[in-house]
Amino acid sequence: MDGATTLATLAPLALATCRVMGVATFAPVVAAAAVPARIRLAIAAVIAVAALPAIGASGLPAAAIAEPWRLLPAAALEFALGAVIGVIAMLPVAAFRTAGSLVGMQAGLGFGQLYDGGSGEEDGGDAFEQLFAVLGAACFVWAGGLDALALSTLRSFDYVALGAWSPSVGIVGTVMGAAVAASELAFRVALPVTAVLVAEAMVSGFVARSVPGIAPLSFGFPVRFAVAILALLAGAAAMQSAMHGAVAGMLDSMHSAVTGGAA
């Protein structure tokens, strides 16, 4: 087997791995800090091997085989395409984390940052932010987000041949649209818990004014925290339903991003 044949055999697999690695770098659950980089690379290689039939059908441009230096910008483009897919997939889970930050501020967990501006940044935010981040990842998996992400990554090889992706201005609009949808999701998730906390604040304020001997912090904060947890448990089903809709919107955005740059 000569050098050209070896390049024609291994280069498509390497470029496909670059595309999937871009997805694994930003996608929820897979891109978690607890997942080592070698595990992400192994996952990318496995999915790239699974995509070999589609890769073999499209192949590589002849110019890339004749001039191997062209594989370097092609690898960068493949990683960029995977990164776009991964970022779009990450937005629904990031929306849950944002909702947790909003709920945490309403619940009064932002008091620590008033005294220490760096508190909560090293460990990933306050308790509600971390809780909603885990809840968002769980809802994403439960809604079939990982399966949809893997399938979308595989189908991207049917829509865009290796080294043929051409980013356009429309990609920015697609990602921005997905970000706006994620912002809406964050407010939808945070609104029920926030509304309950606002009602609790009104009741606690009335009690504090009616019974002057009750200290607002010692009485109100534990109650607000407990009410927030109960409201979160009561709204879990609605949050899961919202994530199902977000996953469907995520697939549409991925399709638009991939086909919009197809050449």
* pLDDT tens by residue, 195-207: 887 777 777 666 6
The mean pLDDT value for 173-187 works out to 89
Identity of the highest mean pLDDT range in 58-72, 118-132, 147-161, 219-233: 147-161
Answer yes or no: are the C-beta atoms of 75 and 44 closer than 8 Å. no
What one-character DSSP code corresponds to residue 70?
G
Of residues 124 and 76, the one with the higher pLDDT is 76
CA distance 41 to 19: 11
The pLDDT of residue 92 is above 90: yes
Mean pLDDT of 241-246: 88
131: left (phi over 0), alpha (psi -120 to 50) or beta: alpha
Highest mean pLDDT among 2-11, 132-141, 228-237: 132-141
Task: Tell me the pLDDT band of 235, cut-offs 50, 70 and 90.
Answer: confident
How many angstroms separate the CA atoms of 86 and 262, rounded?
A: 17
- Percent of the chain exceeding pLDDT 90 equals 13
Residue 89's pLDDT is 92
**Closest-CA residue to 161 (of 51, 70, 73):** 51
Look-up of token digits 């990842």: 137
Residues in the chain: 263
**Hey, what are 39's tokens?**
């595990």
The domain locations on the chain are 79-260
How much is the pLDDT for 227?
77
Average pLDDT over the chain, rounded to an integer = 78
Confidence check: pLDDT of 91 > 90: yes
If you average pLDDT over residues 161-168, what whole number do you get?
Answer: 77
pTM: 0.80
Contacts of residue 223, defined as CB under 8 A and 6 or more positions apart, other chains included, come to 200, 204
